[in-house]
Chains A and B, each alone.
Chain A
Amino acid sequence: MHRIVIKKQLSQDVFQFDIEAPLIAAERLPGQFIILQTSDNAERIPLTIADADISAGTITIVFQAVGKSTHLLAAMNEGNHIPHLLGPLGTPTHIDQFGSVVCVGGGIGVAPLHPIAKGMKKAGNQVTIIMGARTRDLIIMEDEMRSIADEMIICTDDGSYGRKALVTEPLKEICSQDHKPNLVVAIGPPIMMKFCAETTRPFGVKTIVSLNTIMIDGTGMCGGCRVTVGGKTRFVCVDGPEFDGHLVDFDNMMKRLGAYREVEAQAHHQCHLDLGIKPTT
């Protein structure tokens, strides 16, 4: 049982929990994630660890209430216990002194990016942070990120805060400079990661992305988290979650993720019609 010590609402449907998990807090490294369940038969939700406090024995997670399971989680309060929490899972981020590192975070992707940016800074890198969101209210963890960044760029789609631009715009500018960055780490919605990788590809700047696929066990047993990377089938929970963005087959991953939910529903309908089957709904 893991007690929720602090609950914060970061934006309309984005929440931050600090949860008691001393063993995980002590073992976790940047880039790793946990899987939690709100009850025995509830969906297993993978969430990246945004921060940890070893002395308090807590880990921080940030999530957006989108489906039934994350809404159930959002309904929990300080003092409540999360019955099942497994981790830390996945291969930690490779942190090293690369030189200059650009960290790009989209939406709640800023949360998993935070420990990586922190680690990169500590390792002696010059860290540029680009944060983007649809609108000002959806920018999270700005102060935490500012305290790490050597340079900070904020973009919103509607121009309500910072630059009115997509994160790929400043990213492209940085890559066009004489001193190209040595590494880009991009975490956010799949579509953002895909376009960040497309942006850096012509410049030959290595770009790491962190994938958040469907998962069941998270220990390399079920194969549900598989993605195609460089033409090979890889398992996100044990081989990832981070991969070379230039090699990831994002289109296939987005389809599998149901990133286009409506399209998917329609697609199913279409699959059935193609088979001459009467649709169920």
Chain B
Amino acid sequence: MNALREKARQTLDELDARTEPLKPKDRMAIEPQEMPAQEPRVRASNFKEVTLGYSEEQARLEAMRCLQCKNAPCISGCPVQINIPKFISQIVSKDYEGAVQTIKLTNILPSICGRVCPQEIQCQAPCTLGKALKDAGKSVSIGRLERFVADFERAKGIKQQSVKPETGKRVAVIGSGPAGLTVAADVRREGHSVVIFEAFHKPGGVMIYGIPEFRLPKAIVQAEIDTLRAMGVEIRTDYVIGRTRKLMDLLDKDGFDAVFVGTGAGLPKFMHIEGENLIGVFSANEYLTRINLMKAYDPQSDTPIMKSRKVAVLGGGNVAMDAARCALRLGADEVHLVYRRTETEMPARAEERHHAKEEGVVFHLLENAKRIIGNEYGCVTGMECLRYELGEPDDSGRRRPVPIKGSEFIMELDTVVVAIGNDSNPLIKRTTPEIETNKTNNILTDADGKTSVDRVYAGGDIVLGAATVILAMGQGRRAAASINKMLAASLDASPAAPEQHDI
């Protein structure tokens, strides 16, 4: 890390000493700044954050690579249209405070998005610099710069968002994932009171119970939640809507003027193959929740997880990478990632794949589980797999993997983690039959995030199916804007003093 910083300092000194402004040619010549990270062998046995973040020198140098394009294709690649060239130029001129504010105009969780967004398929994909250097991997590292300024802000203490005078209107937010937190912030800023209801005992959604500490330290999520609390948002944990209280009761009995549903993805999918209920087969949700939420890796924790030696993770997404990398950190001797297609089709972020391999996860591509084998005690002892080859392209244009006849082979294992996705959470649908959903039980909304029920809005994974933090946030923003609009209209219609309810 010090070497990277030193090198950056030298280059920066030379560039700062120049009198004439940098030309695009000079900018293109600056070396892309590498992200300092813990050594693979060291980090594979601890839960501390893998990447360490740019030093100030590195951040400014990386920022100087930006060509400040007039058309800024990066902005249209960003799901919430951050003014990317502007915040980058603020980094060059050391106005980090200003850079954070630029980002926060459209993204309230930069320290989280800077860490977990798939930038290589969003803002960094169309980057002119990457195109000019004929390597998308050499685009400006927008995500790392976003993280740098957000970390800078957090170190100094996150600036309190201003809140307009109380309107007396009340909004209930169900779920405290990125969608719910965004709605809470945007609605609270307008002076409406906000109560978040969260089923778990800690708020944060997948950012707390799914994404592991080594990729997204929980203290960062906690800091964002503390900021919301400081704005006056109330968070009720251990409170499951549909059970502790029915959704419609919030509107009809508890005096809420609007409800936002951000309950996230739900029931894990299984492969429906033989042996899936043996001891030692976990859904990724269970495996990761035990580790991240219940801190199974901490000897102080009461929620243990079995000690595994040989683990197979089925799937190729972020969730699969996280499960595999957790298994390594819990001390497994071998961790195998089994995926039906090739690495190009893997939905996991490039950085995650790279990190997983560096740490020693063995990738088995074009292979898939056929059945899981157990002993007489019901414990996993192995898995029968099949090899695949790529056949004709399917509707999505991806070449369909087809099994190779007679290619069965056995992998010896004691643990299998199934990470092939989630169906949607059934609870709200079952207890609120009024809400319209599609075939897969995802809630249907219009372009403003409004559901089929008056004053009820929805967004995030419960609408999109398993998506991303930034898309969930984007949906939250949109729904919050329509909630604010509706409440403003009703305030205009009845400016009388609002009644107080105590719930």
By a CB distance below 8 angstroms, the chain B residues around A277 are: 309-310, 333, 414
Kindly state the separation between the CA atoms of A256 and B379 in the bound complex, as whole angstroms.
9
Q: Which of A149-157, A201-209, A218-226 contacts B (4 or more CB under 8 A)?
A: A218-226
- A24 at the A/B interface (Cβ < 8 Å)? yes
- A280 at the A/B interface (Cβ < 8 Å)? yes
Partner of B201, one of A27, A84, A233, A258: A84
By a CB distance below 8 angstroms, the chain A residues around B300 are: 41
Kindly state the separation between the CA atoms of A269 and B280 in the bound complex, as whole angstroms.
13
Partner of A252, one of B272, B282, B283, B378: B378
Q: Which of A86, A88, A272 has the most CB of B within 10 A?
A: A86
Nearest-neighbour CB distance to chain B for A176, whole angstroms, equals 34
Nearest-neighbour CB distance to chain A for B497, whole angstroms, equals 28
By a CB distance below 8 angstroms, the chain B residues around A37 are: 201
By a CB distance below 8 angstroms, the chain B residues around A266 are: 377
**Would A280 and B244 count as touching, CB distance under 8 A?**
no
Nearest-neighbour CB distance to chain B for A128, whole angstroms, equals 31
- A228 at the A/B interface (Cβ < 8 Å)? yes
**Would B289 and A271 count as touching, CB distance under 8 A?**
no
Partner of B377, one of A27, A218, A221, A264: A264
Q: Mark each residue of chain A from 267 to 281: 1 if its CB lies under 8 Å from any CB of chain B, else 0.
A: 110111011010010
By a CB distance below 8 angstroms, the chain B residues around A87 are: 240, 243-244
**Would B303 and A44 count as touching, CB distance under 8 A?**
yes
By a CB distance below 8 angstroms, the chain B residues around A256 are: 277, 279, 378
In chain A, positions 236-281 with a C-beta closer than 8 Å to chain B are 238, 249, 252, 255-256, 258, 263-264, 266-268, 270-272, 274-275, 277, 280
By a CB distance below 8 angstroms, the chain A residues around B264 are: 221
Kindly state the separation between the CA atoms of A83 and B201 in the bound complex, as whole angstroms.
9
Nearest-neighbour CB distance to chain B for A85, whole angstroms, equals 6
**Would B201 and A274 count as touching, CB distance under 8 A?**
no
What is the chain B residue whose CB lies nearest that of A2? B238
By a CB distance below 8 angstroms, the chain A residues around B239 are: 86
The verdict on A43 contacting B302 (CB below 8 Å), with A222-B268, A223-B283 known, is yes
By a CB distance below 8 angstroms, the chain A residues around B243 are: 27, 87-89
What is the chain A residue whose CB lies nearest that of B331? A280
Partner of B286, one of A42, A216, A258: A216
**Would B270 and A86 count as touching, CB distance under 8 A?**
no
In chain B, positions 280-297 with a C-beta closer than 8 Å to chain A are 280, 282-283, 285-286, 289-290, 294-295
What is the chain B residue whose CB lies nearest that of A68? B302
Nearest-neighbour CB distance to chain B for A155, whole angstroms, equals 30
**Would A217 and B379 count as touching, CB distance under 8 A?**
no
Nearest-neighbour CB distance to chain A for B99, whole angstroms, equals 35
**Would A267 and B378 count as touching, CB distance under 8 A?**
yes
Nearest-neighbour CB distance to chain A for B422, whole angstroms, equals 8
- A69 at the A/B interface (Cβ < 8 Å)? yes
Kindly state the separation between the CA atoms of A226 and B372 in the bound complex, as whole angstroms.
16
- A40 at the A/B interface (Cβ < 8 Å)? yes
Partner of B237, one of A84, A88, A219, A270: A84
In chain B, positions 228-245 with a C-beta closer than 8 Å to chain A are 237-240, 243-245
Kindly state the separation between the CA atoms of A42 and B294 in the bound complex, as whole angstroms.
8
The verdict on A221 contacting B378 (CB below 8 Å), with A233-B270, A233-B272, A256-B277 known, is no
**Would B425 and A40 count as touching, CB distance under 8 A?**
no
Partner of B379, one of A23, A220, A270: A270
Q: Mark each residue of chain A from 25 to 69: 1 if its CB lies under 8 Å from any CB of chain B, else 0.
A: 001000000000100111110000000000000000000000011
Partner of A271, one of B283, B295, B380, B426: B380
By a CB distance below 8 angstroms, the chain A residues around B199 are: 86, 217-219
Q: Which of A42, A221, A224 has the most CB of B within 10 A?
A: A221
**Would B267 and A223 count as touching, CB distance under 8 A?**
yes
In chain B, positions 211-265 with a C-beta closer than 8 Å to chain A are 237-240, 243-245, 264-265
What is the chain A residue whose CB lies nearest that of B309? A277
- B200 at the A/B interface (Cβ < 8 Å)? yes
**Would A280 and B307 count as touching, CB distance under 8 A?**
yes
By a CB distance below 8 angstroms, the chain A residues around B302 are: 41-43, 68-69
The verdict on A255 contacting B200 (CB below 8 Å), with A27-B245, A224-B283 known, is no
Number of A-B contacts (CB under 8 A): 145
**Would A222 and B245 count as touching, CB distance under 8 A?**
no
**Would B240 and A275 count as touching, CB distance under 8 A?**
no
**Would B426 and A275 count as touching, CB distance under 8 A?**
no
Nearest-neighbour CB distance to chain A for B92, whole angstroms, equals 43
Dominant secondary structure of chain A at its interface with chain B: mixed
Q: Which of A24, A41, A87, A88 has the most CB of B within 10 A?
A: A41
Kindly state the separation between the CA atoms of A172 and B408 in the bound complex, as whole angstroms.
48
**Would B200 and A217 count as touching, CB distance under 8 A?**
yes
- B412 at the A/B interface (Cβ < 8 Å)? yes
- A15 at the A/B interface (Cβ < 8 Å)? no
**Would B201 and A220 count as touching, CB distance under 8 A?**
no
Kindly state the separation between the CA atoms of A266 and B301 in the bound complex, as whole angstroms.
24
**Would A221 and B285 count as touching, CB distance under 8 A?**
yes
Kindly state the separation between the CA atoms of A235 and B270 in the bound complex, as whole angstroms.
12
Kindly state the separation between the CA atoms of A168 and B177 in the bound complex, as whole angstroms.
48
Kindly state the separation between the CA atoms of A258 and B379 in the bound complex, as whole angstroms.
11
By a CB distance below 8 angstroms, the chain A residues around B279 are: 255-256, 258, 264, 267
Partner of B238, one of A42, A84, A227: A84
By a CB distance below 8 angstroms, the chain B residues around A27 are: 243-245
Q: Mark each residue of chain B from 111 to 128: 1 if its CB lies under 8 Å from any CB of chain A, else 0.
A: 000000000000000000
Kindly state the separation between the CA atoms of A24 and B266 in the bound complex, as whole angstroms.
23
Partner of B306, one of A23, A69, A217, A268: A268
The verdict on A216 contacting B379 (CB below 8 Å), with A84-B238, A233-B277 known, is no
What is the chain B residue whose CB lies nearest that of A225? B286
**Would B414 and A271 count as touching, CB distance under 8 A?**
yes
By a CB distance below 8 angstroms, the chain B residues around A43 are: 294, 302-303
The verdict on A274 contacting B375 (CB below 8 Å), with A216-B286, A222-B268, A223-B285 known, is yes
Kindly state the separation between the CA atoms of A85 and B236 in the bound complex, as whole angstroms.
12
Q: Which residues of A contact B (CB under 8 A)?
A: 23-24, 27, 37, 40-44, 68-69, 83-89, 216-224, 226-228, 233, 235, 238, 249, 252, 255-256, 258, 263-264, 266-268, 270-272, 274-275, 277, 280
Can you pick out 21 interface pairs between chain A and chain B where the beta carbons lie within 8 Å of each other?
Answer: A27-B244, A41-B298, A41-B301, A41-B302, A42-B302, A85-B238, A87-B244, A216-B289, A216-B303, A221-B264, A221-B267, A221-B285, A221-B289, A222-B283, A223-B270, A224-B282, A226-B277, A235-B267, A256-B279, A264-B377, A272-B309
The 3 closest A-B pairs by CB, nearest first: A267-B377, A255-B378, A223-B283
Q: Which residues of B contact A (CB under 8 A)?
A: 199-202, 237-240, 243-245, 264-268, 270, 272, 276-280, 282-283, 285-286, 289-290, 294-295, 298, 300-303, 306-307, 309-310, 333, 375, 377-381, 412-414, 425-427, 430
